């Protein structure tokens, strides 16, 4: 009951925030608008820094009524300007709290619950509220379970994980349900791993991690092509010119190479070229996959890889990196892309170098498609995740 | 003749060597070699009795504290992916937190678990603080914590990163901030305008991961920045990045060099000393001593000796003149941080397990005279200022000094 009342109050506050949003922007003093604009104008290689510094000095001398406009401006700001605005808020808050002044608590709460605002800024608003009234702020956490802010969501997931642990001993069914709820909401890899381990190892449940993350596990691969002297990264081999899955090409040493299927059964979607092509050195391979988008729109390709790589979406080079064996993790590289409706084709180039140490054996990558919060976007008609047992047959 | 006091002070300040500030404004001190003159009353004992204060930190960091006037500044990184970059300023006298600023990383924050995103040591010109993180976010604040400028170097140069983590610390030379952003891919060094953060120069560097910090030496009557890498050491003008001299026989990529006046002592095939002249071109070494083999810790120079710590935790003292080993003792390792020393004749080093050790350097050979176990991981290097020693562990900033 209490939670329902709290929820109703929060809904009212959000509504008030939404209704008041546009008028609040319109009412901004011209001076404040100019200062924010000066900060939002910062650009590459230090452009705009001097003007931003002047604006910052003026802004940070503002009273607490500037806090909310500054937080709101974060949504429409670039990555550098966001930090300028954040820093101005911090200076104001620090000074005002030292002077025993109060922060605009109601406004911060409305801002926090307005999911149109920048996720990082909303987390900052939460931290400010928690600084003033930790108990009240904590009560908001369960409401963040499916929040666009992964930082806010993280706290709600953590609460469920704690609850799941407490239930495991006495009420297995409730523990499973709690962990499932936590898993559905979890986006941070460390939390997902903890939950998946509890579900599978402690509670004997099946967990489809490739599907949860949206890893692409069905590929066609071809290789090896040459990478002697690490020249393969810049070289243009036939798959870069045209992907023809029926074609054969001259590979390294004039060996004829053909496309072949590779299906990953790794729970974190690792596509290991060593398996079909052998543990080779100074070689280049390609992997091709198709992704059917239900609708056109923004997405992220997130890659983990410790070899040199390039990636193309629908024939357009997204990014490439010639670093070898310095480490790999899920979501190591995040690339904002635009998916077209229907079939999208993804080509990955993967170069293995000459190093002989045992920690340089890997020739693999893991790629997923998701939205900006890390929520998986699944290909239409995505096949069932292959099971390890089936793959060994 | 009488001069107004401000004029006299200005002249004295101009003439004074940098260590006379008594600040510790960068990695391994004002001279970039681990030592600082004076500080005779720095305690030779590290114990509960000499802990002046300690302050909690919000996140890990490897960078040393820097001391600017009455302030101690450290960086940190927090959050599950270390995406929140922090600068914290404490009062030198009582450890009170004066201000804290946080920034969202704009570059990649992946790094090896042993290191962290707040690996580089910040630096200062006495008026501003310059902080760099492994994400290649470079930020300038004034001493009150007001943002002066910010650069996202991975936004500008998208392949400038190292998946193991970056750790080279920036330094201030004259009116230029010099940083080595060196890695396997988009590798460069640059000089930045102190006031605006704009590039003054940017040069390509060897495409190899490199964690060393630049040092400054006098060469041909001017200050030259020595950029160390796997290829060797390149001497450049700090204001322009123009090459002055080069040493191309290779050098280490983890321990940095150390300077005394016009002589550079750097890890290359053991330890190598060289005194580049004004003639430019390829520089020849004064000596090379293969037996002196620095591991992660950078060499320390004090008086007529150079001290190194090898991979087994053995501390060696060698003659600066010849490289000849004078003595060696085994310390309790392993070490990631570097030794520091002051005019009190003692060397200070903290190992990765959080054990601080003090070595008396006054005898025929070094002798460990004090130890303290702080109970937290320490991967960084201590700092010295005002007869006090500062060290940051994973969770705490510590100050050691004689009780008042």
Rounded mean pLDDT, B97-124: 97
Does residue B314 contact residue B331 with C-beta atoms inside 8 Å? yes
CB distance from B100 to chain A under 8 Å? yes
Whether B103 and A90 lie within 8 Å, measured CB to CB: no
Expressed as residue numbers, the domain containing B353 is: 20-401
CA distance B102 to B108: 16
**Coil, helix or strand at residue B273:** strand
Provide the percentage of residues in chain A whose pLDDT is more than 70.
92
Contacts of A151 in chain B (CB under 8 A): 79
Instruction: Name residues whose C-beta falls within 8 Å of residue B168's C-beta, 6 or more positions apart in sequence.
Output: B120, B179, B180, B181, B182, B210, B211, B212, B213, B214
Whether A151 and B79 lie within 8 Å, measured CB to CB: yes
Q: How many domains does chain B have?
A: 1
Joined together, the tokens standing for residue A350 give 């993967």
pLDDT(B250) > 50 = yes
Task: Find the angle CA(B115)-CA(A308)-CA(A377) to the nearest 5 degrees.
Answer: 85
pLDDT(A151) > 90 = yes
A2 confidence band (pLDDT: 50, 70, 90): very low
Contacts of B145 in chain A (CB under 8 A): 91, 94
* Long-range Cβ contact pairs of B230-239 (< 8 A, separation 24 or more): B230/B206, B231/B206, B232/B268, B233/B257, B233/B264, B233/B266, B233/B268, B233/B274, B233/B283, B235/B276, B235/B283, B236/B189, B236/B203, B238/B173, B238/B174, B238/B176, B238/B178, B238/B191, B239/B174, B239/B175, B239/B176, B239/B191, B239/B200, B239/B201
Any domain includes B292:
yes
CB distance from B247 to chain A under 8 Å? no
Any domain includes B298:
yes
pLDDT(A13) > 70 = no
For position A392, what pLDDT does the model report?
35
Rounded mean pLDDT, A108-135: 96
Instruction: Name residues whose C-beta falls within 8 Å of residue A315's C-beta, 6 or more positions apart in sequence.
Output: A345
Any domain includes B229:
yes
DSSP H helix total and E strand total for chain B: 2, 33
For position A27, what pLDDT does the model report?
64
CATH of the domain at B333: 2.130.10.10
Any domain includes B13:
no
pLDDT(B10) > 50 = no
Any domain includes B116:
yes
Any domain includes B3:
no
Any domain includes B4:
no
CB distance from B58 to chain A under 8 Å? no
* HSE-up (13 A, CA, CB side) for residue B4: 3
- Residue keyed to tokens 């940070």: A60
For position B404, what pLDDT does the model report?
67
**Coil, helix or strand at residue B306:** strand
CB distance from A131 to chain B under 8 Å? no
Does residue B377 contact residue B391 with C-beta atoms inside 8 Å? no
A:67-106 residues touching chain B, CB 8 A cutoff: 79-80, 82-84, 86-88, 90-91, 94
| Other CB atoms within 10 Å distance of the CB of residue B53 | 17
- Per-residue pLDDT of B156-180, as tens digits, reads 999 999 999 999 999 999 999 999 9
Q: What is the complex's ipTM, to 2 decimals?
A: 0.93
CA distance A265 to A179: 23
Provide the percentage of residues in chain B whose pLDDT is more than 90.
91
For position B220, what pLDDT does the model report?
75
Any domain includes B12:
no
pLDDT(A24) > 80 = no
């Amino acid at each position: 009951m209490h939670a329902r009342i709290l929820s109703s109050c929060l809904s009212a506050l959000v509504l008030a925030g939404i209704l008041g949003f546009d008028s609040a922007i319109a009412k901004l003093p011209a001076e404040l608008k100019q200062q924010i604009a000066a900060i939002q104008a910062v650009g590459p290689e230090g452009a705009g820094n001097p003007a931003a510094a002047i604006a910052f000095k003026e802004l940070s001398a503002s009273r607490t009524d500037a806090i909310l406009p500054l937080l709101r401006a974060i949504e429409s700001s670039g990555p550098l300007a966001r930090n300028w605005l954040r820093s101005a808020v911090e200076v104001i808050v620090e000074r005002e709290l030292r002077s025993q002044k109060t922060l605009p608590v109601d406004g911060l709460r409305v801002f926090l619950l307005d999911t149109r605002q920048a996720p990082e800024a909303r987390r900052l608003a939460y931290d400010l509220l928690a600084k003033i009234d930790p108990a009240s702020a904590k009560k908001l956490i369960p409401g963040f379970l499916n929040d666009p802010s992964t930082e806010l969501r993280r706290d709600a997931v953590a609460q469920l994980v704690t609850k799941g642990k407490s239930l495991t001993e006495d009420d297995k069914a409730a523990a499973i349900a709690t962990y499932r709820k936590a898993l559905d909401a979890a986006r941070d890899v460390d939390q997902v791993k903890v939950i998946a381990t509890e579900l599978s190892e402690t509670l004997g449940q099946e967990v489809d991690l490739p599907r949860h993350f949206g890893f692409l596990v069905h590929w066609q691969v071809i290789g090896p092509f040459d990478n002697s002297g690490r020249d393969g990264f810049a070289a243009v081999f036939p798959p870069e010119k045209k992907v023809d899955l029926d074609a054969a090409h001259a590979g390294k040493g004039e060996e004829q190479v053909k496309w072949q299927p590779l299906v990953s059964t790794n729970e974190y979607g690792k596509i290991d070229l060593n398996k079909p092509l052998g543990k080779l050195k100074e070689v280049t391979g390609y992997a091709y996959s198709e992704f059917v988008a239900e609708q056109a729109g923004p997405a992220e390709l997130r890659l983990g890889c410790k070899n040199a790589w390039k990636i193309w979406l629908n024939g357009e080079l997204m990014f490439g990196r010639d670093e070898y064996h310095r480490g790999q993790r899920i979501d190591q590289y995040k690339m904002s892309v635009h998916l077209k409706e229907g079939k999208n084709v993804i080509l990955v180039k993967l170069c293995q170098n000459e190093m002989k140490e045992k920690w340089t054996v890997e020739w693999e990558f893991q790629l997923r498609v998701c939205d900006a919060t890390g929520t998986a976007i699944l290909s239409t008609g995505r096949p069932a995740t292959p099971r390890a047992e089936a793959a060994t047959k | 003749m009488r001069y107004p006091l401000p004029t006299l002070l200005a002249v004295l300040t101009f003439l004074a060597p940098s260590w006379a500030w008594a600040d510790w404004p960068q990695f391994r001190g004002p001279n970039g070699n681990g030592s600082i003159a004076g500080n005779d009353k720095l305690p030779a004992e590290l114990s509960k009795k000499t802990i002046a204060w300690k302050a909690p930190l919000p996140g890990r960091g490897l960078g040393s504290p820097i001391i600017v006037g009455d302030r101690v500044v450290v960086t940190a990184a927090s959050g599950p992916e270390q995406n929140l970059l922090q600068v914290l300023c404490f009062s030198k006298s009582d450890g009170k937190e004066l201000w804290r600023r946080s920034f969202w990383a704009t570059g990649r924050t992946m790094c090896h678990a042993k290191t962290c995103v707040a690996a580089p040591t910040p630096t200062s010109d006495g008026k501003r603080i310059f902080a760099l993180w492994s994400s290649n976010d470079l930020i300038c604040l004034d001493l009150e914590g007001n943002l002066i400028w910010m650069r996202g170097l991975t936004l500008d140069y998208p392949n400038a990163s190292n998946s193991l983590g970056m750790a080279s610390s920036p330094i201030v030379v004259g009116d230029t901030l010099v940083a080595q952003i060196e890695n396997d891919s988009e590798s460069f060094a640059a000089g930045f305008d102190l006031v605006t953060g704009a590039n003054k120069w940017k040069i390509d560097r060897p495409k190899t991961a490199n964690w060393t910090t630049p040092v400054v030496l006098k060469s041909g009557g001017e200050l030259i920045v020595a950029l160390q890498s796997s290829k060797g050491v390149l001497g450049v003008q700090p204001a322009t990045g123009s090459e002055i001299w080069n040493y191309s026989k290779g050098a280490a990529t983890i321990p940095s060099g150390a300077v005394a006046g016009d002589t550079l002592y750097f890890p290359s095939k053991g330890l190598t000393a060289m005194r580049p002249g004004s003639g430019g071109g390829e520089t020849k070494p004064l000596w090379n001593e293969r037996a002196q083999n620095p591991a992660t810790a950078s060499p320390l120079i004090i008086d007529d000796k150079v001290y190194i710590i090898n991979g087994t935790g053995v501390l060696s003292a060698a003659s600066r003149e010849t490289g000849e080993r004078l003595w060696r003792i085994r310390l309790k390792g392993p070490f990631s941080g570097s030794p520091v020393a002051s005019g009190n004749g003692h060397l200070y080093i903290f190992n990765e397990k959080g054990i601080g050790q003090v070595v008396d350097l006054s005898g025929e050979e070094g002798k460990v005279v004090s130890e303290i176990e702080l109970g937290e991981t320490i991967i960084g290097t201590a700092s010295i200022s005002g007869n006090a020693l500062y060290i940051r562990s994973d969770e705490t900033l510590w100050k050691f000094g004689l009780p008042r």
